[in-house]
């Protein structure tokens, strides 16, 4: 199948066979007349004119065809979403990904096979690469051939720094392991895509080591959704964002204060400057002493909440990302048009009215009706371009067709709402065919608009054509027709501020205050007002319903999602008006009986109550409550409906127990009692003979708990029914169980099982501990083997 390309006579069965025969064949091989240069024989193998057989590109250094990055055809486009894995990570500003698509993986396999096949025959001819050339490079670890980009040359001109463009790693390679790249591989773009995170920059001059570690842990070993937001440096670097389980990588960096938003100062083009200057010159030409209308500002936009749904018509269409709609059955727009007509018919045209760009006036549209309009620019000295606020369209009108507007006409919000579908074009821009088809589909028909959220000054929506049979989702229609793909955007909804239950403060110095009951759950939980006072705190999320606590009244109720709105900060400056309280009693059984609840409500509801604070806990105020000069708690106890808590106070399991303070700087042989994590472990102290058993809870399961006896060090699992709260008097003496921690340079939120097992194993082998300090809670140790 193979012939010597030089003499065209001797046939070979393989490349290896030709290489073995070359020592004998070269003495009789004579070149025949050269063939035309445009004839390509892919199946021929020829020796070089030197002493080794090989491809001519290896031997003729004067006719080398060099390959550069611009010659490789990359298929990555702006806006594309890629399922990819991170193969080389340096920082959020510099990393490489490889798409996990079948096409990319097959291409990578073909490139690897072709490289090994082409360069398996040694060549004595040296190749001198140049900077930015893409070559075949022999990797030092496995001595296989890969495509590499020459980034720079060493001073001795014997080696080069090479970036492997299909994997993202680098190394220094001597020239003898660098060969010209075969032209057969030019059709394949780099498999490793060089990336940086878009729209954010590090807080300091460079990405911190802590940030890089955190991001590497998030990304490594996972297949991720990567969205290409921009392509820079002549297509070499891709600005991307990566979807995580809860948000995006850029959001993660901002939330953890590793990064800040990138400020973009968009420089206007010369054309923009010229147009703006020309507009201002046209405006200023005859403006001296005339009414410039500077007081007339743009009215507020029509507001809608996430989840709102309404019927609308399209009044102006530009693209799927910019559609202007107006509500149907809208009495406001009808009344507004009548007010505009009455006003403008009474105001004559005036040569002294010359409104400034950006101000609002009344304009006569080509249908001979008056509308509210914003001055966009002066196209000439006597004509102006206006945008109609309630419809979204614009046109060029004569100055004589403008009238001053009144304040009452500006009080009405703009009736035009700019919307966008949550889709993006297949390519860089929307095709003309798509725009024409979509405009025909949405024009002159009533559509249902569902608000998804705000984004970049517009509302992201779902548009449903209810007239069609069956009903059609416009976004799904564009995707099915091959015009668009779903877009992943960060909807900047105004989320309610996360708040804790903060309430009005009751005096704890023994004063008696007058309360009014507003909500009752039990004697152990009820809510009162100090004075006559509505916000809500989300308690539980379900699929369709949300359980909320009405924080100014104390009761809970289930609401539909569309009945909730984000609260603004100004409503959070005052404390919640419902004050959570509890009586110093508890049910006789495991829970309050209906009889006890009924009696409690009878005693307190509708009555003027007086209260004195006895204690304050996380559950609210423990109060002594008086109704008709009678203690409510005593009344419940006297009727055998409750029992007093006594000195125990509100039932709780204290965690702030005292531990033995070890002598600082003293090294000793510790005896390990139990290990929760490197940030919390227990040592045995000197044993004492006690008559009671104090214990620390290590772990709680269904009906049992693992405990360690604080004064003896042994541990076991006990039933929850055998565990009682410990009286405060029993906590005065330190536990013989010593609470310790390692120096807290960096502790993760949650320790992995592997780390815990390794730490316990190291401790059990025998270590020396040195006390560094006591932080008020634990002894801080350093451990050494």
d(CA 324, CA 317): 6
DSSP 715: E
* 465 contacts 472 by C-beta, under 8 angstroms: yes
Instruction: Give 464-480 as a DSSP string.
Output: EESSSSS-EEHHHHHHH
Provide the pLDDT confidence category of residue 324 given band limits of 50, 70 and 90.
very high
Residue 513 is predicted with a pLDDT of: 66
Strands (E), 390-535: 394-398, 402-403, 417-421, 423-425, 447-455, 458-465, 472-473, 484-486, 512-522, 525-529
Q: Is the peptide bond between 496 and the residue preceding it cis, with omega within 30 degrees of 0? A: no
Residue 675 is predicted with a pLDDT of: 59
**What is this structure's pTM?**
0.37
Is the pLDDT confidence value at 467 over 50?
A: yes
Of 337-341, 574-578, 780-784, which range is least confident? Answer: 574-578
pLDDT digits (tens, 9 = 90+) for 469-478: 788 899 998 9
Provide the pLDDT confidence category of residue 257 given band limits of 50, 70 and 90.
confident
Is the pLDDT confidence value at 766 over 90?
A: no
Instruction: Using DSSP bridges, classify how beta strands 145-153 and 159-164 pair: parallel, antiparallel or unpaired.
Output: antiparallel
d(CA 164, CA 137): 8
Query: Mean per-residue pLDDT for 75-90?
Result: 89
Is the pLDDT confidence value at 658 over 80?
A: no
* 93 contacts 207 by C-beta, under 8 angstroms: yes
Contact residues for 623 (Cβ-Cβ < 8 A; gap 6+): 506, 581, 582, 583, 611, 612, 613, 614
Residue 684 is predicted with a pLDDT of: 57
Is the pLDDT confidence value at 47 over 50?
A: no
Residue 195 is predicted with a pLDDT of: 92
Instruction: Using DSSP bridges, classify how beta strands 779-784 and 737-742 pair: parallel, antiparallel or unpaired.
Output: parallel
Of 214-228, 490-504, 534-548, which range is least confident? Answer: 490-504
Query: Mean per-residue pLDDT for 582-591?
Result: 83
Residue 269 is predicted with a pLDDT of: 54
Contact residues for 595 (Cβ-Cβ < 8 A; gap 6+): 641
Whole-number average pLDDT of the chain: 77
| 344, HSE (Cβ side, Cα atoms, 13 Å) | 23
| Residue of 186 and 529 predicted with greater confidence | 186
pLDDT digits (tens, 9 = 90+) for 118-167: 888 877 778 888 888 899 999 988 888 999 999 888 877 788 999 999 99
The encoded tokens of residue 75 equal 């298929």
Residue 266 is predicted with a pLDDT of: 53
Is the pLDDT confidence value at 518 over 80?
A: no
* 742 contacts 781 by C-beta, under 8 angstroms: yes
Residue 116 belongs to what H/E stretch?
helix 102-119
Of 23-32, 374-383, 612-621, which range is least confident? Answer: 23-32
* 708 contacts 682 by C-beta, under 8 angstroms: yes
Instruction: Using DSSP bridges, classify how beta strands 417-421 and 458-465 pair: parallel, antiparallel or unpaired.
Output: parallel
Domains in the chain, CATH or no CATH each: 2-54 (no CATH), 65-265 (2.30.30.140), 512-648 (2.40.50.90), 667-784 (no CATH)
- Evaluated on CA atoms 137, 139, 144, 147, the torsion sign reads negative
The encoded tokens of residue 236 equal 């070499």
d(CA 419, CA 230): 23
Is the pLDDT confidence value at 765 over 80?
A: no
Residue 360 is predicted with a pLDDT of: 92
* 166 contacts 103 by C-beta, under 8 angstroms: no
d(CA 736, CA 760): 21
Is the pLDDT confidence value at 495 over 50?
A: no
* 255 contacts 224 by C-beta, under 8 angstroms: no
| Residue of 21 and 337 predicted with greater confidence | 337
Residue corresponding to tokens 């700019």: 418
Is the pLDDT confidence value at 362 over 90?
A: yes
Residue 723 is predicted with a pLDDT of: 83
Query: What 3-state DSSP class applies to 89?
Result: strand
d(CA 37, CA 337): 77
Of 140-154, 651-665, 766-780, which range is least confident? Answer: 651-665
d(CA 311, CA 326): 9
């Amino acid at each position: 199948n193979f012939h010597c390309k030089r003499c065209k006579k001797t046939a070979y069965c393989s490349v290896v066979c030709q290489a073995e025969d070359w020592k004998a064949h070269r003495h009789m091989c004579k070149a025949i007349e050269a063939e035309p240069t445009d004839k390509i024989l892919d199946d021929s193998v020829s020796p070089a004119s030197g002493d080794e057989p090989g491809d001519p590109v290896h031997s003729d250094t004067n006719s080398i065809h060099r390959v550069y990055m611009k010659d490789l055809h990359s298929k990555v486009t702006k806006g594309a979403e890629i399922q990819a894995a991170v193969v080389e990570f340096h920082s959020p500003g510099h990393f490489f990904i490889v798409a996990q698509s079948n096409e990319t993986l097959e291409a990578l396999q073909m490139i690897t096979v072709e490289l090994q096949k082409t360069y398996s025959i040694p060549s004595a001819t040296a190749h001198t690469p140049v900077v930015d050339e893409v070559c075949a490079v022999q990797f030092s670890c496995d001595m296989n051939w890969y495509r590499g980009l020459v980034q720079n040359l060493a001073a001795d001109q014997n080696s080069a720094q090479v970036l492997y463009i299909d994997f993202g790693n680098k190394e220094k390679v001597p020239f003898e392991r660098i060969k010209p790249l075969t032209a057969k591989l030019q059709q394949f773009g780099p498999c490793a895509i060089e990336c940086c995170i878009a729209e954010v920059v590090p807080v300091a001059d460079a990405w911190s080591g802590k940030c890089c570690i955190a991001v590497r842990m998030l990304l490594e070993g996972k297949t991720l959704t990567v969205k290409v937001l921009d392509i820079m440096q002549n297509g070499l670097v891709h600005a991307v964002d990566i979807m995580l389980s809860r948000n995006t990588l850029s959001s993660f960096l901002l939330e953890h204060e590793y990064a800040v938003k990138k400020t973009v100062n968009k420089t206007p083009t010369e054309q923009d400057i010229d147009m703006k200057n020309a507009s201002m010159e046209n405006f200023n030409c005859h403006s001296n002493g005339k009414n410039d209308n500077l007081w007339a500002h743009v009215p507020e936009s029509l507001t809608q909440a996430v989840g709102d749904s309404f019927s609308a018509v399209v009044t102006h269409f530009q693209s799927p990302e910019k559609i202007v709609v107006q509500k149907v059955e809208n009495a406001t727009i009808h009344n507004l048009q009548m007010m505009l007509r009455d006003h403008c018919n009474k105001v004559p045209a005036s040569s002294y009215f010359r409104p400034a760009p950006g101000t609002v006036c009344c304009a006569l549209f080509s249908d001979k009706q008056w509308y509210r309009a914003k001055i966009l620019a002066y196209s000439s000295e006597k004509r102006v371009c206006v945008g109609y606020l309630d419809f979204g369209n614009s046109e060029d009108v004569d100055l004589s067709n403008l009238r001053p507007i009144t304040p009452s006409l500006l009080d009405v919000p703009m009736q035009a709402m700019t919307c966008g579908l949550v889709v993006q074009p297949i390519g860089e821009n929307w095709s003309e065919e798509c725009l024409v088809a979509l405009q025909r589909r949405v024009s002159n028909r009533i559509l249902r608009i569902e608000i998804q959220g705000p984004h970049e000054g517009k509302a992201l929506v779902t548009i449903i054509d209810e007239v069609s049979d069956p009903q059609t989702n416009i976004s799904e229609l564009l995707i099915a027709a091959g015009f668009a793909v779903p877009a992943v955007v960060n909807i900047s909804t105004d989320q309610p501020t996360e708040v804790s239950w903060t309430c009005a403060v009751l005096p704890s110095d023994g004063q008696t205050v007058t309360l009014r009951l507003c909500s009752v759950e039990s004697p152990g939980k009820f809510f009162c007002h100090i004075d006559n006072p509505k916000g809500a705190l989300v308690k539980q999320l379900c699929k369709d319903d949300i359980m909320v606590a009405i924080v100014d009244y104390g009761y809970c109720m289930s609401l539909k999602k569309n009945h909730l709105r984000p609260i603004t900060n100004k409503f959070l400056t005052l404390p919640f008006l419902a004050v959570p309280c509890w009586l110093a009693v508890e049910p006789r059984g495991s829970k309050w009986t209906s009889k006890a609840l009924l009696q409690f409500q009878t005693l307190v509801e509708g009555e003027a109550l007086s209260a004195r604070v006895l204690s304050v806990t996380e559950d609210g105020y423990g109060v002594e409550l008086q109704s008709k000069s009678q203690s409510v708690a005593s009344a419940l106890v006297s009727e055998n409906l409750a029992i007093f808590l006594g000195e125990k106070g509100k039932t709780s399991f204290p965690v702030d127990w005292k531990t033995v303070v070890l002598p600082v700087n003293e090294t000793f042989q510790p005896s390990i009692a139990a290990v929760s994590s490197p940030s919390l472990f227990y040592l045995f102290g000197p044993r004492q003979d006690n008559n009671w058993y104090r214990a620390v809870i290590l772990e709680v399961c269904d009906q049992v708990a693992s405990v360690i006896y604080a004064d003896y060090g042994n541990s076991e699992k006990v039933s929850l029914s055998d565990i009682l709260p410990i009286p405060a008097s029993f906590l005065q003496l330190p536990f013989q169980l010593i609470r310790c921690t390692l120096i807290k340079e960096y502790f993760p939120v949650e320790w992995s099982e592997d780390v815990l097992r390794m730490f316990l194993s190291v401790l059990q082998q025998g270590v020396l501990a040195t006390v560094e300090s006591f932080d008020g809670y634990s002894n801080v140790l350093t451990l050494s083997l």
